[in-house]
Copies of this chain bind each other. A is one copy, B any other.
């Protein structure tokens, strides 16, 4: 039994090089409408989407993402937003009780569900995209560039446009590695070795290990791509941003 939606999702690949063609307004509206249709906590929609398409802002934003998405005609910066909700509460003579950890996390989930619906719809429209995790690295500079106020935290960035490349699909772990039946099952050393074999033997990964002169794939990630020193430094600036955004009031 064929299902168009499932086939579309199974064919996903991230796109990093784009045609200069802009995303038409009606396409943007359609994919964002799909985003907002995703489930969200209490239907409170505590998120905002910033669509950046004009120079020089677009180029500056790509710079803050270390040059990623440099050819993309559209950046979507998707934010946790209690600022707008509190404004509505205030106008109704109510408390403003959502600037805390619970709502930071639940709105991060909601913003992400919105983002993923946008992405599935985008691929249905022939667009390509790449998630840029670097939004959590340069959060303060990105917030300043986009005039983001207190109570708003950018948590997801997408660069998007019509693809100018047809990248190969990346590998995934076998489902068995991710899925636990009934309760969480502990992995044996043999499980871990067996389940990661597909990843370690994936040609692109082997090539990257060789290029970077490391012993194995785990070393590539832990020493070169995402080392401890960077993770600690970024976690500190991120925590500072979250505090200044007002989410540690409890």
Contacts and interface: CB of A to CB of B under 8 A. Distances in A.
A141 to B, nearest CB: 14
A29 B225 CA distance: 31
A89 B196 CA distance: 11
A136 B152 CA distance: 20
B5 A178 contact: no
Nearest to A186: B149
A4 B6 contact: no
A232 B100 contact: yes
A24 to B, nearest CB: 12
A182 B131 CA distance: 18
A182 B57 contact: yes
Contacts of A49: 178-180
**Chain copies in the assembled complex:** 2
Nearest to A199: B43
A116 B106 contact: no
Interface in A86-128: 87-89, 91-98, 100-103, 105-106, 108-109, 112-113, 115-117, 119-121, 124-125
Contacts of A50: 180-184
Contacts of A148: 184
A220 to B, nearest CB: 9
Interface string A171-215: 111010111111111110100110010000000000000000001
A179 B91 contact: no
A19 interface: no
A98 to B, nearest CB: 7
A33 interface: yes
A66 interface: no
